[in-house]
Amino acid sequence: MSDEQGKYRPLSYFQLMEISLRELLVEKGILTNEQVDAEVENMRSRTPERGAKVVARAWVDDNYKKRLLENGTKACEELGLDVPALKLVAVENTPQTHNAIVCTLCSCYPRMLLGIPPDWYKSRNYRSRMVREPREVLAEFGLAIPENTQIRVHDSTADMRYIVLPMRPAGTEGWDEERLAGLVNRDCMIGVAVPKGPRD
Amino acid sequence: MNEARFKPGERVRVLKAYPPGHIRTPHYIRGCVGEVERICGAFPNPEELAQMRSGLPAQPLYRVRFLQKNVWPDYAGAPSDVLEIEIYQHWLEPA
């Protein structure tokens, strides 16, 4: 197998296991290759722009924000974003509270809104330290949280999935949803960054 | 579905137990005391699902809020910092 630079590398244990399992499932008629390809395509098509759309709507519409904080799943469905089989909890950043998401057990992640998780989210380093020393971890991401701001870390260990609703940056008054959504990246919705406005 | 035993705001302790199998209660939180933040609904017990059983009756699932300094005695951040985590009812007792 070749890596991205075209250099030959032997398959890792897990790559070999994945191929073996997939081939067995296809061979036994449980799945088809087309179904596997379609699911991979489906996963790749989900990007953080979906989450940014939700955030931007919440910034311009207070009633929507209220509904989002009450029932994240329903609020996403309102925007035509399907969030199947699990419950979405949106947690709001305020001047008093900064939220951040981690899954210490594995790598639970709101894929339907943010797509495929970054490698660091799945790393042992992030998973073990984010619950233990969040301020140090956030500082490594370049985010200094003032001592009088409460940090609320959400360990996503069971059936809920989380998205951080960041604070709307100053200087964006009158911006439309699309322009606002452009300020919201993946890391802002995990809580390891905050959106930068025109004055930042 | 099992009935919810705890209400938001109630103090609860996570059981300090170490059963084998697929457990969604992280080790670091076992034995800690926190406060119910909300009831998330009821879900099939993942410990049973992992054994290919139905997981029914569904277990109430809570989001429990812990002060970081109650989880990590040497926590170096602000005293108001908290950790919130989902815990199934059968892992909780009144505190």
Q: Is the pLDDT of residue A22 over 90?
A: yes
pLDDT at A158: 86
Instruction: Please report whether residue B27 resides in a domain.
Output: yes
Instruction: Please report whether residue B4 resides in a domain.
Output: no
A148-161 confidence digits (pLDDT tens): 999 999 999 888 99
pLDDT at A85: 62
Domain boundaries, chain A: 13-45, 49-190
A29-82 confidence digits (pLDDT tens): 999 999 999 988 988 888 999 999 999 999 999 999 999 999 999 999 999 988
What does pLDDT average to over chain A?
A: 92
Q: Is the pLDDT of residue B71 over 70?
A: yes
Mean pLDDT of B21-45: 95
Q: Is the pLDDT of residue A174 over 90?
A: yes
The two counts, helices (H) then strands (E), for chain B are 2, 5
Mean pLDDT of A170-191: 96
A-chain residues within 8 Å CB-CB of B83? Answer: 131, 152-155
Share of chain B above pLDDT 70, in %: 100
Instruction: Please report whether residue B59 resides in a domain.
Output: yes
User: Which of B80, B89, B91 is best to mutate for the A interface (most A CBs within 10 A)?
Assistant: B80
> Is residue A27 less than 8 Å (CB to CB) from chain B?
no
Domain with B90, as residue range(s), is: 11-94
Could B43 and A89 be called an inter-chain contact, meaning their C-beta atoms sit closer than 8 Å? no
CB < 8 Å from B in window 84-143 of A: 87, 89, 104-105, 131-135
Query: Token pair of B56, please?
Result: 């029914």
pLDDT at A145: 95
Please tell me whether the overall predicted TM-score, pTM, comes out greater than 0.95 for this model: no
Mean pLDDT of A123-137: 96
Could B61 and A158 be called an inter-chain contact, meaning their C-beta atoms sit closer than 8 Å? yes
With cut-offs at 50, 70 and 90, classify the pLDDT of residue A3: low
pLDDT at A13: 94
Instruction: Please report whether residue B55 resides in a domain.
Output: yes
Instruction: Please report whether residue B88 resides in a domain.
Output: yes
Lowest mean pLDDT segment, chosen from A59-63, A66-70, A85-89, B9-13: A85-89
pLDDT at A4: 61
pLDDT at A112: 87
Mean pLDDT of B36-52: 93
pLDDT at A146: 94
HEC string for chain A: CECCCCCECCCCHHHHHHHHHHHHHHHCCCCCHHHHHHHHHHHHHCCCHHHHHHHHHHHHCHHHHHHHHHCHHHHHHHCCCCCCCCEEEEEECCCCEEEEEECCCCCCCCHHHHCCCCHHHHCHHHHHHCCCCHHHHHHHCCCCCCCCCEEEEEECCCCEEEEEECCCCCCCCCCCHHHHHCCCCHHHHHCCCCCCCCCC
B-chain residues within 8 Å CB-CB of A133? Answer: 76-77
Tell me, yes or no, if A128 is annotated catalytic.
no
d(CA A155, CA A161): 10
Which CATH architecture best describes the domain A49-190?
A: Alpha-Beta Complex (3.90)
Q: Report cis status (omega within 30 of 0) of the bond before B57.
A: yes
pLDDT at A106: 84
Residue B51's CATH number: 2.30.30.50
Could B86 and A149 be called an inter-chain contact, meaning their C-beta atoms sit closer than 8 Å? no
Task: Find where tokens 């034995």 sit.
Answer: B31
Instruction: Please report whether residue B3 resides in a domain.
Output: no
> Is residue A148 less than 8 Å (CB to CB) from chain B?
yes
pLDDT at B60: 96
A102, A154 Cβ separation under 8 angstroms: yes
Q: How many domains does chain B have?
A: 1
Of A89, A104, A150, the CB nearest to B78: A150
Instruction: Please report whether residue B6 resides in a domain.
Output: no
Tell me, yes or no, if A188 is annotated catalytic.
no
